[in-house]
Amino acid sequence: MMIYSTLAPAVVAGSVKQRINQTHPDVIARFRGFQGQIRDGMVRERLMAMLSGFFGLLAAVLGMVGLYGVMSYIVGLRQNEIGIRLALGANPAQVIGMVMKEVIFLLALGLVIGTACALIAGQWANALLFGLKAYDAVTFGCAAVLLTAVGGAAGYLPALRGSKVDAAKALRCD
């Protein structure tokens, strides 16, 4: 049963319990506010939202670590080439630019593939979204900016390390 009143819920519950006890003393009445019922009914959805957020954050961290590892490996393989470039007069900014071009290519490729996959997955998740659109341009834009910033940071560190290669040491290894 639902009761609508402009009075405080505790006052209404107390007077209704008293009235029920007068007419039917064997009946046990419990009262909950409408907000509490809604909150209790949304436990599963909240849990799914928290898990989705956690796994999204975990995916971003794994992507950053993965991109950092790949770029670190590539810079390590090209250490001799970078040393030769530095010995021939390239400045560290040019080396950083060379490595960051690869990072930008990988980021662009990942964003295109990820956006396509998100659009496809959005069709399946549309039934789970209450009051939200599966194709929200602001959300896609924020995700792209966040991933670009994370990827840029993950690629910049190996690029910076590569720009500090000792040219003489790299030439001796070849």
Contact of 51 with 137, CB cutoff 8 Å: no
As given in the structure block, the two tokens for residue 127 are 């039934």
Do 94 and 151 reside in the same domain of the chain? Answer: yes
Do 112 and 148 reside in the same domain of the chain? Answer: yes
Do 24 and 51 reside in the same domain of the chain? Answer: no
For the beta carbon of residue 11, count every other beta carbon within 10 angstroms: 10
Confidence grade of residue 34 (pLDDT, cut at 50, 70, 90): confident
CA-based nearest residue to 63, from 154, 173, 144: 154
Residue 77 in this model has a pLDDT that exceeds 80: yes
Do 22 and 88 reside in the same domain of the chain? Answer: no
Do 1 and 62 reside in the same domain of the chain? Answer: no
Do 113 and 54 reside in the same domain of the chain? Answer: yes
Do 110 and 166 reside in the same domain of the chain? Answer: yes
Do 5 and 67 reside in the same domain of the chain? Answer: no
Pick the more confident residue, 73 or 127: 73
Do 78 and 10 reside in the same domain of the chain? Answer: no
Do 34 and 119 reside in the same domain of the chain? Answer: no
Do 62 and 127 reside in the same domain of the chain? Answer: yes
Do 29 and 102 reside in the same domain of the chain? Answer: no
Q: Taking CA 152 as the corner, what is the angle to CA 150 and CA 154, rounded to the nearest 5 degrees?
A: 70
Has this prediction a pTM greater than 0.75? no
Q: Which domain covers residue 21, as residue numbers?
A: 1-41
| Own/partner long-range contacts of 171-174 (Cβ < 8 Å, ≥24 apart) | 171/80, 171/83, 171/84, 171/87, 173/79, 173/80, 173/83, 174/80, 174/84
Q: How many domains does the chain have?
A: 2
As given in the structure block, the two tokens for residue 173 are 């290894």
**Percent of the chain residues past pLDDT 90, beyond the cut:** 13
Confidence grade of residue 174 (pLDDT, cut at 50, 70, 90): low
